[in-house]
Amino acid sequence: MTSRRDFIATASLAATGLALAPLAACSQNPADPPVREKPAGAIAGIVPLHGALLTRAIPATGEQVPVIGIGTSGSYEVPLASQEFAALKDVLKVFFDGGGSVIDTSPNYSNAEDVVGALLADGGWRDRCFLATKLAADSRTALESQWADSLRRLRRDHVELLQVHNLRNMAEAMPYARELKAQGKAKYIGITHYLERGHADTVRLMRSEKPDFVQINYSVNAPQAAKTVFPVAQELGIAVMVNRAFDDGKLFAAVRGKALPAWAGDVGVASWAQMFLRFVVSHPAVTVVIPATGKPDRQADNLGGGVGPLLDDARQAELVAMFA
Ligand SMILES: NC(=O)c1ccc[n+]([C@@H]2O[C@H](COP(=O)([O-])OP(=O)(O)OC[C@H]3O[C@@H](n4cnc5c(N)ncnc54)[C@H](OP(=O)(O)O)[C@@H]3O)[C@@H](O)[C@H]2O)c1
């Protein structure tokens, strides 16, 4: 039975476009005591989440996706059958058990597509994954062979999201992406960039191309997208995928030895990683953020960034000022 507290929580989330993802082995009620027992198949040292992962709607369709996804640059560029690959199996188990589904990769990340394809097939998660990859080539012929390779390496006959990487060769890549969408090979199409100096071109192309998704950098120390890309995404109904929420890991060096704000516990934030991610998903334009890690305990930590109350404007501004 739904308690009044659960109902109020769900109703107020719905008002912000948020919902709660179904979550195995976790409590839906923030007042419940922490879950201590280790469920069957759990990974040593990983404590299950104490709440449900928030989800947001993709404006083009209304489809809900969990707000915490996974990036694969660097962390997934590892040899198959290595110790790092074995650790990634646990990373994905933590991720899917915790209610995650969105994974972002690219043919430009050396062998990351091979690694993702193998992990999803081995773990039986291929159909539970909202899989995003990219087009990044300079001619139609090269785009076609790159896409064929991507499908082979990902062990899929379609992807959920196909993005033009860093706005490269938009004149050929975007029409090709549209063709693939029309053929049912990609459910959504998008464009990506990762630097502030790319925001103006990104906004111009959002207006002219009207993609389903835009992927862009946004973090406590690089909050410019809130002024450039996000308002246009909200105006045009474009989903936002955020990259570099940790500034490629540099933010952790900036907070070494630094205490969390005194109010962190009030919003269920237990680490700086969770604070950086909660900051990102607190912006209403953001659909999903894709932090990258090759470590299962860090994956569990990152999922916690998407569980609990959002930060109000004053708290978001306080964080931006702290890292300015
Ligand atoms: N143009 C584009 O399309 C574009 C550009 C940039 C990024 N992206 C996408 O966005 C994703 C994310 O960006 P990113 O990989 O550049 O950077 P990021 O997610 O900001 O940072 C990744 C770094 O943070 C570390 N980390 C992750 N979780 C942590 C935690 N809980 N505690 C401490 N350290 C943690 C990782 O190290 P460990 O692995 O050692 O944990 C890694 O060094 C990429 O993987 C990619 O999928 C796309």
Residue 51's pLDDT is 81
Q: Whose CA is nearest to atom 11 of ligand 1?
A: 71
Instruction: State which ligand 1 atom lies nearest to the alpha carbon of 104.
Output: 47
Q: Whose CA is nearest to atom 28 of ligand 1?
A: 293
Residue with structure tokens 């082995």? 25
Residue 7's pLDDT is 32
Structure tokens at 5: 């507290």
Using pLDDT thresholds of 50, 70 and 90, give the confidence band for residue 43.
Answer: confident
CB-based contact 299:64 (threshold 8 Å): no
Q: Tell me what the mean pLDDT of segment 107-127 comes to.
A: 97
In this predicted model, what pLDDT tens digit does every residue of 256-285 receive, in sequence order? 999 999 999 999 999 999 999 999 999 999
Ligand 1, pocket-test mutation among 199, 218, 242, 248, most atoms within 8 A of CB: 248
| Nearest-angstrom CA–CA distance, 241 and 191 | 10
Q: Whose CA is nearest to atom 30 of ligand 1?
A: 298
Residue 170 has pLDDT above 50, yes or no: yes
How far, in Å, is the centroid of ligand 1 from the Cα of 71? 6
Structure tokens at 109: 């990340």
Q: Tell me what the mean pLDDT of segment 101-121 comes to.
A: 98
Over the chain, what is the mean pLDDT?
Answer: 90
Most distant CA pair in the chain: distance in Å? Answer: 58
Length of the chain in terms of residues written: 324
Rounded to the nearest 10 degrees, what angle do helices 313-322 and 272-281 cross at? Answer: 130
What count of other Cβ atoms lies within 10 Å of the Cβ of residue 28? 17
Structure tokens at 111: 């062998």
How far, in Å, is the centroid of ligand 1 from the Cα of 94? 17
Q: How do 70-71 and 102-104 pair as beta strands? A: parallel
Residue 198's pLDDT is 98
Structure tokens at 147: 């896409």
Residue 55's pLDDT is 97
Structure tokens at 114: 């091979």
CATH numbers and ranges of domains, the chain: 55-322 (3.20.20.100)
How far, in Å, is the centroid of ligand 1 from the Cα of 1? 40
Pocket of ligand 1 (CB under 6 A): 71-75, 104, 165-166, 192-194, 215, 243-249, 252, 273, 290-295, 298, 301-302
